[in-house]
Each structure stands twice: as structure tokens, then as C-alpha cells.
């Protein structure tokens, strides 16, 4: 890989899943990458080592960004290590795959959905904005779910959906507030990309069949990461406040509850 430096990108939750693939694709595009993790130290170390072997500059940073002081510490450590911060991709976002009605969730599970998906973004963005404002340039990319821009009813996913649709309003509000500072804010909304597919390339899944997805193949992490890469480009400064679905045409929302009674 011929490395062309573009700036510094912090990808939260990048030790695994969509965050990991996003970090890889951004590094390939010439970004220095700050790899953040909460508990996946081994995976984060492996990613950083791999990026360095490809010629990218990369370091790892640990912290629970759902806590405001830790989010601020992580951002400050990234700035101290790299000298600046140009891109924040917030890929943190816990999800309960089992279908559960809101009344069947525990208080701890509700708080985990709100803290992990909404508050973590609030705290991390709040910590990153001063540096981006000083530079008069910045890219912020959040993750949602397909159709989250509509704030739809999503039975059995209520707490998760509430947190993510809160991020929709944050995306649109910050896009207006920060546009004069050269900062764009957008949301990318993956479809039902599950398991190992989150860390696969498009070429890895192109020949696979997925009868549920209108496109006919499963989604991959690269499908999402290449959209993030575009949003981070310097010339993408006129693209802000958008909620972009990357779903292969699949509507993941079920109109009625399927949870066991």
C-alpha cells in the first residue's frame, strides 16, 4: 500500500466488528488511525500491529466512553499522541439481539442501551469538538440502523431504537451548529450485517446468496466502511446532516412484536 497522509481519525469501538473494518478502510485511504477499545485489548493490539505493517501510523487507546471523564481522557490522549484530530467515527453501540419487549428489559439493560449508544456519542463528540473547531475542519460519523431517520416503531428493540433515534436528532442539529467551523456530521445506517460479515470485504460475500435481502447477497463491513470513507474526504465538506442507509434494500423493522409471550 502506498501511504498518503490525510489526517488523524479516531474510531471508537474499533477492536472488532464494523469499527474494525472502518479503521482498516480509513488506514488504506491514508488516515492515521487511533484505535479505541473498552475491553478487547488483544483485538485492538492485533489491529494496530497490522496497520503499522501496512505503513499506517496507528496507536490504541482504552476507555469506557459512556463515562464523560473517560471519553474526554481518550480524546485528549489521541490529540496528545497524534497532534490533532480530524475525524471521529463513533462505532460504539451495544445491541440485544434477543427479541424483548420493553417491559421485560431490566433497568440495567435499558441503561446499557442508552449509555452505550447515546451518551457515549454525546460525551465523545463534546470532547472532540474543541480541537476540530480550532482546526476549522472535522468529520463526525455516527452509526444508526436502517430507517432510523424516520424514528419508526421497532417492537422488541425499544431501548436501542430510542437511543439511536436520539442520535439522529443530534446528527442533524450538530450539522447545522458546526457547519460554519468546517465540521460535517453524518450518520451511516447499516442493515442486518451480522457476525463475521462485519469484518469481511465485499469480495468475500459477493457470491453468497441472501434470500432475505433484496440485493441478493449479505452485507459486509466494507459496504459500510466505504461510505464512511467517502464522508471523511476533504471534498465531502458539502455533505452534512445526512442519514444514509446501507441495507441492500432490506427493511429490518418488523411491524409487530415477535417476542415470546
> What CATH code is assigned to 7-246?
3.40.50.720
Whole-model pTM: value is 0.95
Distances (CA, A) of 103 to 100, 109, 158, 259: 8, 11, 10, 11
Output the nine-digit C-alpha cell for 210. 441472501
Q: How confident is the model at residue 17 (pLDDT cuts 50, 70, 90)?
A: very high
Residue ranges with strand state E in 64-137: 87-90
CA distance 72 to 141: 18
Mean pLDDT of 21-50: 97
Residue 219 pLDDT: 97
pLDDT (0 to 100) of residue 47: 98
**pLDDT at residue 244 in the model:** 98
- Asked whether the predicted pLDDT for residue 1 surpasses 80, the reply is no
pLDDT of residue 258: 87
Instruction: Report pLDDT for 2.
Output: 41
pLDDT at 22 over 70: yes
Cβ-count burial of 155 within 10 angstroms (0-12 exposed, 13-18 middle, 19+ buried)? middle
252: confidence class by pLDDT, cuts 50, 70, 90: confident
Supply the pLDDT for residue 260. 80
pLDDT at 4: 55
Q: What number is the average pLDDT over the span 120-136?
A: 98
Q: What is the pLDDT of residues 155-194, one digit of tens each?
A: 999 999 999 999 999 999 999 999 999 999 999 999 999 9
Domain spans in the chain, listed from the N-terminal domain onward: 7-246
Residue 207 CB neighbour total at 10 angstroms: 7
What pLDDT does residue 102 have? 97
Euclidean distance between CA atoms 214 and 208, whole angstroms? 13
Amino acid at each position: 500500500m502506498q501511504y498518503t497522509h490525510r489526517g488523524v481519525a479516531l474510531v471508537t469501538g474499533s477492536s472488532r466488528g464494523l469499527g474494525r473494518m472502518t479503521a482498516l478502510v480509513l488506514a488504506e485511504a491514508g488516515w492515521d488511525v487511533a484505535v479505541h477499545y473498552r475491553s478487547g485489548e488483544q483485538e485492538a493490539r492485533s489491529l494496530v500491529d497490522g496497520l503499522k505493517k501496512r505503513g499506517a501510523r496507528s496507536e490504541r487507546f482504552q476507555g469506557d466512553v459512556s463515562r464523560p471523564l473517560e471519553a474526554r481522557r481518550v480524546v485528549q490522549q489521541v490529540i496528545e499522541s497524534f497532534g490533532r484530530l480530524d475525524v471521529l467515527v463513533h462505532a460504539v453501540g451495544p445491541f440485544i439481539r434477543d427479541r424483548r419487549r420493553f417491559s421485560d428489559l431490566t433497568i440495567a439493560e435499558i441503561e446499557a442501551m442508552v449509555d452505550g449508544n447515546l451518551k457515549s456519542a454525546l460525551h465523545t463528540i463534546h470532547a472532540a469538538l474543541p480541537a476540530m473547531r480550532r482546526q476549522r475542519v472535522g468529520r463526525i460519523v455516527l452509526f444508526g440502523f436502517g430507517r432510523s431517520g424516520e424514528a419508526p416503531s421497532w417492537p422488541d428493540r425499544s431501548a436501542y431504537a430510542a437511543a439511536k433515534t436520539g442520535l439522529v436528532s443530534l446528527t442533524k442539529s450538530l450539522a447545522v451548529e458546526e457547519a460554519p467551523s468546517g465540521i460535517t456530521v453524518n450518520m451511516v445506517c447499516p442493515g442486518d450485517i451480522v457476525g463475521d460479515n462485519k469484518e469481511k470485504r465485499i469480495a468475500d460475500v459477493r457470491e453468497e446468496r441472501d434470500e432475505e435481502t433484496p440485493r441478493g447477497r449479505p452485507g459486509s463491513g466494507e459496504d459500510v466502511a466505504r461510505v464512511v470513507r467517502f464522508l471523511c474526504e476533504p471534498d465531502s465538506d458539502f455533505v452534512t446532516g445526512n442519514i444514509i442507509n446501507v441495507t441492500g434494500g432490506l427493511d429490518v423493522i418488523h411491524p409487530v412484536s415477535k417476542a415470546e409471550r
